[in-house]
Structure formats: structure tokens, C-alpha cells
Structure 1
Amino acid sequence: MDIYEGLYTTRMMRRLRPDPVPLETQARILDAAVRAPNGGNTQRWHFLAVDDPELIAAFAQLFRRARALEYEKFQTGTGPMVATAPGADAAAHVATMRRMKGSGDYLADHFEEIPLLLFVFAIDDLGGANIYPAIWSALLAARAEGVGGVMTMVLRNFEDEVNGLLGVPVEEGWKMSAMLTLGYPLGNWGVAANRHPVQEVSSRNHWGKPFGLEVPQPLWPPQDAVSA
């Protein structure tokens, strides 16, 4: 797969088939993840794969409770989902959150069918600087294998329960960064169309100064659509 195809078409897949992800495929995904850049090559990460149906069912209950908490925050005007980009239309943001909730509801309702959970842990991660490149590498590698997924942090609402279920040695400093739900998607891969164009979110040399080029539509697949 061309690297740009991977970059442009890797998106959050919340509707997954229950088919198991072969161990060899999981190994290729994680082998790509551990090649990611990290400060000082300290590799302070741990990836915990969960495919035990009983454990997945336990996490399903926690996941639904955690999502309910996040949407309660949203309804009361608090929590990370409330924030919009500067100048963004508030009504449009609410509509987007409603659409996301719809696909998220499917994931929550069918959580027990997810074939693979991947919990990612780190030590002293400086706000994610070391672990998020590895997570993105895992998602790109999964895309190359035809595996879709979602990165979520809602289970951090129940961090103690997660650590207990997985036997995490928290006394050593390990802390959950995120959880990935992985499986073969029911939907189709595609380029995200709902993105602000480059020139609207980029500057050159000084904040607010023109980037210098307009990109009216995605540049992959290749096209002669860039204008000065």
C-alpha cells in the first residue's frame, strides 16, 4: 500500500466484524508500533492485547458507563467534547457530536463482539509525546492489514478498575494512555472529506499570515488541483 493511501484513508472504524484478528497480524501491527520514534529511545511503553471474551465483556460494561459519564459532561457544558475550534459554529459542532454519538453507540452496543482490544501503557510520557507516534503507527499498520480501529480514552474514567482487571503494576509507574478497539470493519475505507483545507488552518512565518498555497480538495489520489 502506498504510504499516502494509508495516511489519507486511515480513519476511525467503529463498526467492526467479530472475526478474530490472527496472531500473526497482531504481531505485524505491534512490530510496526515499536519502531515508532520515542525520546531517547527509552521505549517506556507496554502494549496489552485482550482477546478473552470474558474480559472484553467486562470492559464493555465499563466502556458504556464511561461513555455515559462523558455525555453527561457534554450535556452540562463541561468535558473535552464541549470545546470547539476558534470561530467554529457551535450548532454545527453539536450536530457533529450527535453524529459521532450515533456511530459510538453502535460500538458500545456491540462491544462484546469486538475481537481485539489493545491497551497502551506508558511511564512518564510527557503528555503523550512518546506513545502517540506508536499508537498512530499501530493504526496505520492495522490499515495495511485491512484492520480498522478506534483510539479511545474514556476508560480512564475507570482507571483503577482497568488496572485491576489487567493486573497492571501501577507501583512501577505504568499509566494507561489509551485503548484501541481493533477488528475488520463493516464499512469502507475512504478519504475524510469533512476537513478544513490547508490554507484555512495553516500560516507561514507569522500567525495568521497566508500559507502561500491553496488546497481546495484532497491531494490524494494525485490530481492537478493545487492553485497558487
Structure 2
Amino acid sequence: MDAAVRAPSGGDSQAWRFLLVDDPTVKGQLAEPYRDSVRLLWRGHYSAQAAAAEADPQAETSRKFLRLRSSVQYLADHLEEVPLLFFAFSRNDRDGSSTFPAVWSAMLAARAQGVGSAMTNVLDIFRPDTTKALLGVPPDRGWTLAATVAMGYPKGRWGVAPRQPAHTVTYRNRWGADPGFSTEEPLWPPTRRHA
């Protein structure tokens, strides 16, 4: 959390509050709203991708989506078992530019200590009022649920996430111009797994 509060914020307002949940009872109360939110996600935003993946499960885009869906669903099915839920709340931060650097700083600091994290926003999209009520957030102070982060030691293999190389999504000086560098492989080694 110390890394989180060191992050920059607009006007140095630091208009954030963080709530850590490790109490099994509270996590249990949050589990069904979270699962319901994920069900709404599959039926809404991702319904076309899910249908396409199920129609052609061997296509590379389908396999990628099915892995993502499996991971998201695993978290939904096991929310009560997550060692720590980290909630970020903000006030007067419409686009998150003051809050998300703090959240990301906490996530990076956790990663450096061998702790994995996954940020999700399904509760703030589908069940913000329910979540705030369960967590005792004052309803009349203008706090907005900005992010939910599941944190814990990873199960199984944990390495550097496969992504497009940086030079393929970066331009220099003008849109579409060569960035002047190439990075085919990650520039840092994977973190060792917690023993």
C-alpha cells in the first residue's frame, strides 16, 4: 500500500481510499454479486466472442478467448478463496487517471514480492452499490468503486505474460511511424515462484 500512495495524482489530490478484505465472511458476501456480474459479462459484452469461440474452438482467437474465459470464471467460482481483495475507491476522478496509477503501483510492488494480482471492474460496472454497501462505504460521500484487485500467490506456472512486441504497438513522432526500436523478447526475466 505504501507503493500505492507514492503514485502521482491530479493536483496531488490523492483522492483515493483503499480497502483490503481478507475476512472470509466478507469475501463470502461479495462472492455472489461477483459471480452474478461475471454472468452478466458473458451474456452481454462477451456474448459474441463466446458464441464464435464455441462454434470454432480450434481457431487461435477462440483458444485465446476460451483461456481468458476460463481464468475469469475460475476467479468468479473461487472468489472466497482469494487471499486478499484490494478495493480502490476514488472521488472526482472521472477517468481514473489519478487512481489507476496507485492501483498499478500496488500491483507491481506485489509482483516484485512474488504476489500475483488481477484487476477487474465487473463489480463497479454491474454491482457498485451492492459492493459499497457490503463494504460499509459511506453512501453520501461521493466515493466511486474504481477497481477490485484479487491478490495471492500464483498456482502453477507464472511467467511474463505473452503480449504483442512493444515496437508493433508504438509509434514515434507521428501515427504509424517506426518507433526506432525493436523488442522481440521481454526485457526482464520471469519472477521466481513463491516457495
**TM-score range for the pair, normalised by the shorter chain length:** 0.7 to 0.9
Q: Secondary structure, in 3 states, of the residue corresponding to 2:75? A: helix
Counterpart residue number, 1:7: none
Shift of 1:163: 1.3
- Residue type at the aligned position of 1:97: F
- Residue type at the aligned position of 1:39: G
Counterpart residue number, 1:104: 72
Shift of 1:187: 2.7
Counterpart residue number, 1:48: 19
Residues 170 and 218 (structure 1), Cα distance of their counterparts in 2 relative to 1, 3 Å cut: same
2:8 to 37, 60, 66: 37
Shift of 1:164: 1.1
Where does 1:6-85 land on structure 2 (aligned, <5 Å)? 30-74=1-45, 76-77=47-48
Q: Secondary structure, in 3 states, of the residue corresponding to 2:18? A: strand
Contact 2:35/2:76 (<8 A) preserved = yes
Counterpart residue number, 1:170: 139
Where does 1:1-228 land on structure 2 (aligned, <5 Å)? 30-74=1-45, 76-77=47-48, 92-156=60-124, 157-193=126-162, 195-221=163-189
What is the rounded CA distance, in whole Å, between the counterparts of 1:167 and 1:160 in structure 2? Answer: 10
Among all aligned residue pairs of Structure 1 and Structure 2, give the percentage whose two residues are the same amino acid. 46
- Give the structure, 1 or 2, with the largest relative contact order (CA under 8 Å, sep 6 or more): 1
Q: Report which stretch shifted further, 195-204 or 169-178.
A: 195-204
Q: Normalising to structure 1: TM-score of the pair? A: 0.73
What is the rounded CA distance, in whole Å, between the counterparts of 1:76 and 1:150 in structure 2? Answer: 22
Which aligned runs of 4 or more in structure 1 are off by greater than 6 angstroms? none
Aligned length: 180
What is the rounded CA distance, in whole Å, between the counterparts of 1:191 and 1:170 in structure 2? Answer: 40
Unaligned 5+ segments in structure 2 are 51-58, 190-195
What is the rounded CA distance, in whole Å, between the counterparts of 1:163 and 1:201 in structure 2? Answer: 37
Shift of 1:111: 1.6
